[in-house]
């Protein structure tokens, strides 16, 4: 029983950390430009980065996803 509680606590902590990270970095990554004036995270140039961000957002609760994606 104690192991299950610890696992739930770890998942909650990971989710909260992911929420903080996404709310801090996602607006910067989406709006920052490189030298050519193009967004840093172009769908055609960096699909692996897009997949990582999608997985990170999927880790959040529905309301947290809405919060992050509305930034």
Alpha carbons 35 and 55: distance in angstroms, whole number = 28
Percent of the chain beyond pLDDT 90? 44
> Residues for the chain: how many in total?
71
**pLDDT single digits (tens) 38-59:** 666 666 667 788 888 899 999 9
- Write down the domain spans for the chain: 2-69
Question: What confidence score (pLDDT) does residue 3 get?
Answer: 81
Alpha-carbon torsion (55, 59, 62, 65), positive or negative = negative
Does residue 65 surpass a pLDDT of 70? yes
């Amino acid at each position: 029983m104690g192991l299950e509680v610890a696992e739930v606590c770890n998942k909650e902590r990971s989710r909260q950390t992911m929420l903080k990270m996404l709310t801090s970095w996602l607006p910067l990554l989406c709006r920052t430009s490189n030298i050519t004036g193009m967004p840093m995270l172009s769908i055609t140039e960096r699909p692996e980065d897009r997949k990582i961000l999608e997985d990170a957002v999927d880790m959040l609760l529905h309301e947290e996803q809405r919060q992050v994606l509305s930034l």
